[in-house]
Amino acid sequence: MAVNQLVFLAVSSFIVGFSGALVPGPVFVATVVESTKRGYVAGPLIVIGHAAAEAITISALYLGLSLLIGSIVAKVAVGIVGGSFLIWMSYTLINSARKASLQPPASDYLTTTGHGPIITGILTSVSNPYFFLWWATVGNDFTLRGIEIAGLLGVAIFALFHWMSDLSWYSFVSASIHKGRKLMSTKVYKSILAICGVFILFLGLVFILEGLRSIA
């Protein structure tokens, strides 16, 4: 088990986690809406629900994919598909940067009247088709990498740093909304989207190249 591989896994898991968190979707909208009612605690509470849904997904991937670690076909398929999805996410982030706003349309918010923010985090996660697409490709790839590097420990590191990216982003959004958007302007938000888009493009290309390399 190489320490440098674990460090790279942790750093890349944290940064790639933003590929899903940064793009406005049900969880983002729920965070903005709940923050206007509950303050800065809304973000962390919604992330708890979001992480609960992901924990179940990660467990299912780990239990099933552990049998496919030695499969070259799996490595090639996951690398190419996951890398392609990251490139598409990169395009989405960079394209979103031009028209991004911290004021989401109310119609995008999943109606969860009567539910607390944790349950809202679960419902808004599983209601988003991109949630399943991300985990079937990118999340799948990272789970495989974690298993290859350090088994269950590798998967745990991937999950932990992935959740740290969610927690840091949604906590920041929640705090910004609570403070009247003084912590983050729309211009700053657009810049974050563009920078992460470029980095995720790079990782997408790396994934594809490693997938193709497995054929050799």
pLDDT at residue number 1: 59
**Residue ranges in the chain assigned as alpha helix (H):** 3-16, 18-21, 26-38, 42-65, 72-97, 117-126, 129-150, 152-178, 186-213
pTM for this prediction: 0.74
Over the chain (216 residues), the average pLDDT of each successive run of 10 is: 86 87 76 80 94 93 66 72 80 76 53 70 81 82 88 94 94 83 70 77 82 73
Q: Residue 162: which domain range?
A: 3-213
pLDDT at residue number 202: 83
Q: Quick check: 198 and 90 in contact, CB under 8 A?
A: yes
pLDDT at residue number 192: 73
pLDDT digit string, tens, across residues 153-186: 999 999 999 999 999 999 988 888 777 666 667 7
Domain count, the chain: 1
In the chain, the percentage of residues whose pLDDT exceeds 70 is 83
CA-to-CA separations, 107 to 22, 25, 47, 87, 143, in angstroms, rounded: 19, 11, 21, 28, 34
